[in-house]
Structure 1
């Protein structure tokens, strides 16, 4: 019997990307609501309760509403919105955090898919905190460069308009209040005592992300060199399929944010010297940063190979 899948918010960027990754799979049955009934609560409720797994690709308020409509206790949910990433009763959907995290996802009925910027930050930071290298009270800073697809349909239309403003051809800093919506999960999942100072940047390319943390080695436990930090991260992720760490010194003189566009892979690149270290997470904001991660979590929840439909 095929697993029944419903995507609530199937017309959005993430919903379409999930459909692209699973639409041709023979082990799944996709339940498709009529286009003119996508906003009909009773019709949505019917589909939400008929599925084995529901993907929520909605604004936060819509995701909260969708969960309230689910009465069937057997329905499992993967929420791609921000609504439940720090909520009690929800499992954070980043399996590479630990063996225990992967097992929690496997057994969970409510999984919150990570935010794109948060994915890179957590991949670089959480292991260093867990291993005791990065103190929990470290005053951490981070910047994250993303393609414009991360802004959804409106931003995509803005950047692809043939009469667009000339300024869109250059990088744009945003989240200038330093209260970006991904910060709560960035702090909670890494275990930091205080939120990082985080600055996102959007640029004139479609997809791909490079998120970077910067460290003073003298403030780290044991005062490791950048190469030693790299070795520690390599050891942490050595058994992972989708997350890897490049050998120290093998990276080129430049890091291009769209290098892993179209994949579900995330690569950490450690640069620096004896005194300072940078760790950059390179991945696709629509892949490992959104829909690819959601499909990976679904595969785990179904007991399948994590890479099914993602290679």
Structure 2
């Protein structure tokens, strides 16, 4: 009986200590309110058009979404109208936010290409020039980097002489590298790109070299600096990196586009029409 009473007393004591401890913890809890960035929703316009100049027709595809709250994903939007290079694009499926149309390739290989978006009573517009690229001469896997977990690709191409050329290299897996011919004008150029991981043997990579205008080159440099490979570059662009699409709601003529509202209510993303050459490589 002595042992039974002692055991019961110990259980009661432990229960009281547990309640006391819980009370102390509860009394120490503070409600912390975290202020998150908030602003009016902005359009995100993903209009990187890749053109194979050997084809008569180019499938044009533009994705349009809108920023949401800090913790939510961007949501697709339904536009009133979107026109690109004189062609009206249509939404692929209701609510998808993806607008597409097959456009004659010759219609895209021009200067002063124009995109116009009509959404919620506002007009967003931008210009760009078609940007030429060069073919890939060589693409192969290298021996690897100084770190054991790196995968190396070696790419080579020949730059045309006496012309300022800009390129965007797409190494698949959301890996991009802008480059200009400042130090290899008119020369065959070869360099290595390192993935931050050891890619699995048998992985197929599609590597592209895209033409770029000077403005698009600078935009990609800034975007890469801010995202540090943590975001999909063409999914949620950094808000401080302004592209070449402006809010043109308050202008009267296209010639006044430079006077559009640059500081506020501008959309995110970029409009570029570029020549693309691509090759595939299989990781060993």
What TM-score, normalized to structure 1?
Answer: 0.24
Structure with the bigger percentage of strand: 2
What TM-score, normalized to structure 2?
Answer: 0.25
